[in-house]
Structure 1
Amino acid sequence: MRSIHLIALLMLLLPSSGYSQVQSLQQVLQQVRQGSQQEQLAAKQFVHNSQLDLQQLQQQGQQLNQQLQQIQQHNLQLEDQLLVLQQQLKDKQSQLNTEKSSLTHVFQTIAEHEQLLLDSVRPHSLWQHDTSGINLNNEQLDLARIKQLWQALTEQIVLTARVQQHDAMVLDSKGQPHAMQVTEYGPFTAQTEQGWLHYLPAQKQWQIVALQPQLSHLKQGFWLDPSMGQLIQQAGQNRWWQALAPAGLVGVLIALIAIVATIIGVNRLFYLYQEKQRINRQQTQVNANLDNALGRIIAATNTVTDANLAAHLHSAILNELPALQKGIGTLAVLAGIPPLLGLLGTVGGMIETFTVMTQFGSNNSELLSGGIAQALLTTQLGLMTAIPLLLLHCAVKNKSRQLSQQLEQEAAAIVIQQRQNQD
């Protein structure tokens, strides 16, 4: 197509006549043919080059396909390895969780043992001499803390074998502080010039034992209490009057009332028993005997006319009743006073307890034991006194009522006998 266009173009450009023009056309044609051959050769060369390029591209494509297959195989291998690694990771994580749980359990066990050790050591007086610097408020468990704990416990073991003296504030039995020199025999016993002491862990202070045991001072030794002061406190309570000492003045008043009421009650029972014996003897006698109530009633009616007999008998009986009922009202009053005194002691003990709580707080029961002991002990003493006195009052009252009824029956028998004699 390109050659035809060139021929047409040349024909338009050439003149329309002349032989020279024909030769020119042949030359042009010859040139066109040569150009076509060159183009064909170039086209063949282009095709050949294209085929070579295509072959190269096909080879490269094959190589790329091979590389792709290799990559795919490698990816499959990597996927398998990834699955294996993921499974190994899961196993490692599970093992890590197991080890972590075991380690946590070990830490908890160590922390619990640490707390047990501290709870068994801190209530003792030697802990106030600790110089290890362990922080009891720090809950972090590490090697440094374990080392401090070991140093603290080692120091406590060393202190248990020492006798040491130092000045300290000592509380008396009422919770009032005093500056004294304290001698400590390890963690076992401690004393001052005023007596034996026991340690208050919450206040970190000493307190004088309220009930001092009678322990002689040894010339070549000293007393040790392996119960850390408990035996010394119990030894001071062996005497019953010391156990009742917390009741104080209220306890003394209750004891006095119990003694007075018992004397009155026993005296009245003895009198009524003797009167009962005398009345029984009078029933078997004909003549009136003035040493008993029945004899005096009979003697009062011997000179009385029949019309006034019943009135005189009633008057004679009324005259004898005060002697038989004497002391019953007093016993009733005395039996009612001890519970009221016990309540008074309870109120006083609670006031003392709240006073100690206001001054020293309520986190230690040992400081509060004095007021609570007084509160409970006075109530107990009041009830223990009132119950027997009430029984004694009932016994005296019943005995008096029996004798009164017996006198009334005998008086009624006298009236009936007089009427029968009249008939």
Structure 2
Amino acid sequence: MKYQLILCLLALSVLSHEAHSDDNLVIKAKAESALQEQHNLERESKFKQTEKELNLLRASLLEKREQTQKRNDKLVTQFTENEKKLAKLEEKLRLETGSLGEVFGVVRQTAKQLESELVNSVTSVDAQNYNHIVNNVAAATELPSMQQLTGLWRAFEEQVQASSQLVPVKLNFVNGAGEVQPQEAFRIGSLGLISQHGYLKWDAQEREAQLYSKQPDNMTSISTLRSEQGASLILDPTRGQLLEQLAQRPSIMDRVKAGGVVGQVIIGLLLVGLVIATVRGVSLSMTRQKIRSQLKSPHILGNNPLGRILSVYSKDKRLNVEALELRLLEAVVDEQALLEKGLSMLKLLAALAPMLGLLGTVIGMIETFQIITQFGNGDPKVMAGGISMALVTTVLGLIAAMPLLLAHNVLSSQAELIRNTLEKQGISLVAQQAEKDSIGNEASLERVA
């Protein structure tokens, strides 16, 4: 019983506690619900405020769009009206100007041509007083005034008069050290400038002059121009282009250098051949002179080919005719070898020179094709080195071969003349010995008889 009573009390206490907890939860739920309702009301009021602001902004933007559209329509209408007015004004201008438009075009074109001529003209030293008018007419976008037209005509007249003048001028001269110093010179019309040092290259932008790197031959000095009225003068009608090309014209040494190693070898062969030809020519000339003297004095044996032939005859004249003929022939052959000494080398050099020229040609073309392979053939200056070597070596080979062949022919002819003289004298001695033997044999036969 006691236990049951205790259990009942416990159950009643638990139930009362649970009922108390449920009441607390209800109170909390109601409080939370009130807070949430308050929060929702605040959010709703904010949303309504935002919606009101957006509606106001939308209305403002719609009003601005309407105003912009009206302004755009107004501008389009104004632009269309302006286009119509402009077309009418252009038509009116075209009708009123008439042929003046063509005249303006010709004047402007002429002014531009004159402006381009005056940019680098030497007349800017002292005879360009209307440049500003020419520049204004060339850059004008409207009809020129009478003052501008008159100034343009004066500019033409000034240049025509300046082109016929040879007048002294003072200018700034840039020397080789880069120093600028005043100098006197002569302006040759509109073609160029000349000073005491030579023809001058004029820089109109810097208003300075400097010498061309290479001057023409037989140049007239300033003193001659001042003293003589009819002094001749070299003129460059291209206004300096020919003088600039003159500096690029290669000299003989430049052409020789373009031949490279092969060209130097050919020149070396030519020099060696000329030395051999000179030595042998002098030797043969002296030999011919000695032979002439020997022919005049046959009894006085000298140190020359004919003297040696005669000495052989004087030593071996007791031999019979056949033996004497062989001895003289041997002496002539020995002398011929001495006379033709060096001629074979001269002939060899004459044959080698064109072959070396051909070799240089092949080497130059190989270099040209290698350059074409590396850089293409768009720039001819890149290929100029190989082609120049090919042509220069060919020319050098031919130039070397021709004098060597001529020298070999001349020296061979002289040696042949000397050899013929020796053979003729040898035959004469053999004939003389044969006559003596014949006379001796006849005398012996007469004594026997």
TM-score w.r.t. length of structure 1 = 0.46
Instruction: Give the structure with higher Rg (CA).
Output: 1
